[in-house]
Amino acid sequence: MLLCLTKIDDIPEVEANLKNLAMKMNWEFKFVNAPIEKELLLYSNDTKVIFMNPNKSHVYFNKNVLEKFKKLDVLCTASTGTVHIDLKAANYLGITVINIKNYTEILKTVPSTAELAFALTLNGLRKIIQSHNDALQHKSWDFEKYIGKQIKDLKIGVIGYGRLGSIYSKMMNDSGAKISILDPLFALDFEKAIQNFLKEASTFDVLSIHIHAEKNINFVDKKFFEVIPDDIIIVNTSRGEVINHNDLFNFLQKNPKAQYCTDVLPEESNNFKRKEMLKKFSKYPNILVTQHIGGMSLGARKTAFGLASNLLLEHYGIFND
């Protein structure tokens, strides 16, 4: 069985790829949209391939889950991140994991997540959603509460200068902002680069995060929160795991003018932990959260899902004309 766990009916070429693979391998094709673990395990006896995207996943593919899929050969995820998969467990069980992280030339044509980071930054600067809600819910009409900043007057710290960090930085730089970058590829001594970045951090208006979670768990922690301004805007469209949330909450509680604008949560695929984190978020009026929509534009999905499905076909020696 080839089991598809994510919406693909709006990308017919991806659906055709997966059904073509299933037909040629003499597998059943089954679509089950974002199942919880109990529902997923109903198909554990017959599944050879799982095709998914983490944005709406309700399952963390750890050893306990993976070892129940006795015939599973491939996990194919249409994403650059793999925090929803225990890679060590998959390797131990002989399961191949296919993702799109290393296909940078193709992914350079997908600015969708960087565009969302730009939009979250703008909302933080101009309080767009707050002004809208205040006008309609309270019939307020008072600009004084929403006096913001122009991009051209900003200094922005960018953590991670890969595909998305560089696109975001260009957007901001083209609008006149001054950019400071922290990335190990730009440093002979990364620890020293971190210290230099922290020395600058007190001058930042915005801190925007664009790093992979792998090897960067809790990277943004107390050392950053101790030095950034009390009215900073923190934008996170990478992964929730890169932020130490206890340190974040302490900072936001002490600094109500600061804002955290995020598209991601830690351990999103765990239903209970996701809901618990959202409950915590709801206590902070200076948090804005979107539902991991960064890469969920039509063009971005077509490119990312198309690339992942093509890689899956190639894994089985099937090539599109």
Give the global pTM: 0.91
Within 13 Å, how many C-alpha atoms sit on residue 82's CB side? 19
Return the exposure string of 186-202: e unless at least 16 CB atoms fall within 10 Å of the residue's CB, then b.
eeeeeeebbeebbeebe
Cα-atom radius of gyration of the chain, to the nearest Å? 21
* Cα 270 → chain centroid: 15
The whole-chain average pLDDT of the chain stands at: 95
Q: What is the pLDDT of residues 122-173, one digit of tens each?
A: 999 999 999 999 999 999 999 999 999 999 999 999 999 999 999 999 999 9
Q: Provide the edge-to-edge strand list for the sheet that holds 29-31.
A: 29-31, 2-4, 49-52, 74-77, 96-98
Q: What is the DSSP letter of 203?
A: G
Q: What is the pLDDT of residues 163-175, one digit of tens each?
A: 999 999 999 999 9
The answer to whether the 2-103+298-315 and 112-289 domains have the same CATH topology is: yes
pLDDT of residue 260: 98
Domain ranges of the chain: 2-103+298-315, 112-289
pLDDT, mean of residues 289-307: 95
pLDDT of residue 85: 95
Architecture of domain 112-289: 3-Layer(aba) Sandwich (3.40)
Q: What is the pLDDT of residues 190-248, one digit of tens each?
A: 999 999 999 999 999 999 999 999 899 999 999 999 999 999 999 999 999 999 999 99
CATH number of 2-103+298-315: 3.40.50.720
pLDDT of residue 321: 58
Amino acid at 239: R
The strand ranges marked E within the chain are 2-4, 29-31, 49-52, 74-77, 96-98, 155-159, 178-182, 206-209, 233-236, 259-262, 287-289
